[in-house]
């Protein structure tokens, strides 16, 4: 048996009880009741293994936190194993029993259950009593239908407030610098926080897209890298990631310079597209992502020539422009209409094809 204090909360739907339990105990006394063809009273969606694994790995972060409550609907026929003492404001739970189902928080709890760090966590819990299947469905649907996803650019910008290094923070700082430097091809062209500021009529790329793509040249698992840095663990190099060693060696200024050299070359070789960014794909997500996807090939070609200057990238993109002309492909034409990852990869392959002479 375990007895803990609770806070009584009254809302229009009724009364529920807020408390906290060790995560390991909560895992042992709850279950998930998924809705499927054989269970028309269940409310939960199927668990996502990738999300569970991400949370399990996140639990090793020295600053890991789960501040929002897991919502548990106590089974009506198991209430004798989860009793309230309203005089003392305590709830007593029989740890040997499954007392209820998870209405909200199944991925958090399953991730904790798979983590070797579960004993480090006490979890806020809301217990709801006398809930019918209809009540459970209503609470689940309200929680999951009324959430508003935070703009990725807003999340990226918040990284500037953190003290620790991370691939995401470095990418954000590079984006911020490029948006503010008059000599940058992205000057006033990145939608910081996800929207156009005054004077940004030519902004065609969001801060969130820029940082997410740039991170792919630094890390294959940026969240894990961030945790390793917090724990003062050594990061491992990767020859397939051209900017990783610069990041590990804290040479973020080199990453910034390489982005300047590369995209200033794009601006020089494709001036019409640069001056009319909304009329072509080159300065939108499709074009930017394609260049980032092809950047490892560009970088390694420059390495072989011991030249990563703007002049090298200019020569490289002149070859790209020539190949596009030979194939009759217009960056503002129907060949790339609609965007998407497939078209990003298509343009990236054309860039790589143009590099075969290096």
95 exposure class (CB count in 10 Å sphere: 0-12, 13-18, 19+): middle
Q: Are residues 94 and 183 in the same domain?
A: no
CA torsion, ordered 277, 179, 193, 69, to nearest 10 deg: 130
Residues constituting the chain: 358
Among the candidates 145, 178, 203, a domain finishes at: 145
Q: What average pLDDT does the segment 229-234 reach?
A: 92
79: DSSP letter? G
Looking at the predicted structure, is the pLDDT value of residue 168 above 70? Answer: yes
Contact (CB, 8 A) for 59 and 227? no
Q: What is the pLDDT of residue 358?
A: 65
Q: Are residues 210 and 316 in the same domain?
A: yes
Task: List phi, psi (to 5°) of 341.
Answer: -65, -35
Q: Are residues 180 and 134 in the same domain?
A: no
Q: Are residues 193 and 268 in the same domain?
A: yes
Q: Are residues 36 and 12 in the same domain?
A: yes
Alpha helix positions (H), the chain: 23-29, 49-58, 106-114, 133-145, 152-158, 167-180, 207-215, 222-230, 244-248, 252-269, 271-275, 285-304, 310-327, 341-354
Looking at the predicted structure, is the pLDDT value of residue 37 above 60? Answer: no
Q: Are residues 42 and 110 in the same domain?
A: yes
3-state secondary structure of 242: coil
Looking at the predicted structure, is the pLDDT value of residue 194 above 80? Answer: no
Range picked from 151-155, 191-195, 220-224, 332-336 for highest mean pLDDT: 220-224
Looking at the predicted structure, is the pLDDT value of residue 184 above 90? Answer: yes
CA distance 185 to 172: 16
Range of the domain at 333: 152-357
Q: What average pLDDT does the segment 316-333 reach?
A: 89
Q: What is the pLDDT of residue 35?
A: 67
Q: What is the pLDDT of residue 151?
A: 72
Q: Are residues 248 and 114 in the same domain?
A: no
Q: What average pLDDT does the segment 260-287 reach?
A: 93
CA distance 232 to 62: 11
Q: What is the pLDDT of residue 132?
A: 85
Looking at the predicted structure, is the pLDDT value of residue 282 above 60? Answer: yes
Looking at the predicted structure, is the pLDDT value of residue 146 above 80? Answer: no
pTM, two decimal places: 0.77
User: DSSP letters along 185-240, please?
Assistant: TTTTTEEGGGSPPTT-TT--EEHHHHHHHHHTTT-S-HHHHHHHHHTTPPPPP-TT
Q: Are residues 69 and 46 in the same domain?
A: yes
Among the candidates 145, 178, 199, a domain finishes at: 145
Q: Are residues 126 and 50 in the same domain?
A: yes
Among the candidates 129, 145, 161, a domain finishes at: 145
Q: Are residues 10 and 157 in the same domain?
A: no
Q: What is the pLDDT of residues 109-145, one digit of tens each?
A: 999 999 999 999 999 999 999 888 888 888 888 877 7
Q: Are residues 135 and 165 in the same domain?
A: no
Q: What is the pLDDT of residue 33?
A: 80
- As for how many domains the chain has, the answer is 2
Q: Are residues 76 and 198 in the same domain?
A: no
């Amino acid at each position: 048996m375990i007895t803990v204090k609770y806070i009584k909360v009254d809302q229009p739907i009724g009364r529920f009880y807020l408390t906290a339990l060790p995560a390991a105990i909560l895992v042992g006394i709850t279950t998930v009741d998924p809705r499927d063809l054989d269970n028309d009273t269940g409310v939960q969606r199927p668990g996502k293994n990738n999300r569970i694994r991400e949370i399990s790995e996140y639990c090793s972060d020295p600053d890991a936190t789960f501040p929002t409550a897991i919502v548990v609907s106590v089974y009506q026929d198991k209430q004798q194993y989860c009793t309230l003492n309203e005089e003392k404001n305590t709830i007593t739970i029989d740890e040997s029993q499954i007392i209820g189902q998870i209405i909200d928080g199944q991925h958090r709890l399953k991730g904790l259950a798979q983590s070797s760090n579960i004993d480090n966590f006490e979890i806020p819990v809301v217990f709801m009593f006398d809930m019918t299947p209809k009540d459970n469905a209503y609470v689940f649907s309200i929680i999951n239908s009324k959430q508003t996803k935070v703009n990725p650019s807003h999340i990226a910008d918040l990284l500037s407030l953190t003290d620790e290094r991370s691939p995401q923070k470095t990418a954000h700082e590079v984006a911020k610098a490029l948006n503010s430097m008059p000599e940058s091809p992205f000057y006033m062209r990145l939608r910081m926080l996800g929207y156009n500021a005054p004077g940004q009529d030519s902004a065609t790329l969001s801060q969130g897209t820029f940082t997410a793509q740039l991170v792919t040249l630094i890390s294959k698992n940026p969240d894990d890298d961030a945790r390793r840095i917090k724990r003062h663990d050594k990061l491992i190099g990767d020859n397939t990631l051209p900017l990783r060693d610069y990041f590990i060696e804290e040479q973020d200024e080199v990453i910034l310079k390489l982005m300047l050299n590369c995209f200033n070359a794009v601006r020089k070789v494709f001036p019409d597209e640069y001056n009319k960014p909304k009329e072509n794909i080159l300065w939108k997500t499709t074009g930017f992502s394609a260049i980032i996807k092809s950047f490892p090939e560009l970088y390694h070609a420059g390495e072989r020539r011991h030249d990563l200057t703007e002049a090298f990238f200019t020569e490289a993109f002149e070859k790209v422009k020539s190949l596009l002309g030979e194939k009759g492909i217009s960056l503002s034409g129907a060949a790339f209409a609609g965007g998407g990852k497939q078209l990003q990869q298509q343009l990236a392959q054309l860039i790589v094809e143009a590099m075969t002479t290096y």
